Amino acid sequence: MKSLFTFLLESEEGVVYKDLPIAPVHADPLLWKEETISMLNEELRRTDNMMVKLLDELEDLKRQVDQYKSAEGVEQP
């Protein structure tokens, strides 16, 4: 008895792709690796900058809250 997968493969018409290479024949996988590392590095730089901005905003908000509390006479811990 054939499995459902085998049955479907045999009954479907169309192009069958077998033994495809991972990289094109005339391509340089090392270059892909360098490009990927460069793109990831740029993305990390962007997220680092975003985190620094968020921390600056948090520190600014904390200063504003502290100023408000001192102006209102609220005890600070």
pLDDT, one tens digit per residue, over 53-63 is: 999 999 999 99
Residue closest to 67 by CA, chosen among 34, 48, 59, 21: 59
Is pLDDT above 70 for 46? yes
Is pLDDT above 60 for 25? yes
Q: How far apart are CA 74 and CA 35, in angstroms?
A: 55
CB 17 within 8 A of CB 9: no
The more confidently predicted of residues 44 and 17 is 44
The more confidently predicted of residues 58 and 11 is 58
pTM summary value? 0.52
Tokens linked to 46 = 């962007």
Q: For a pLDDT cut of 90, what percent of the chain falls above it?
A: 39
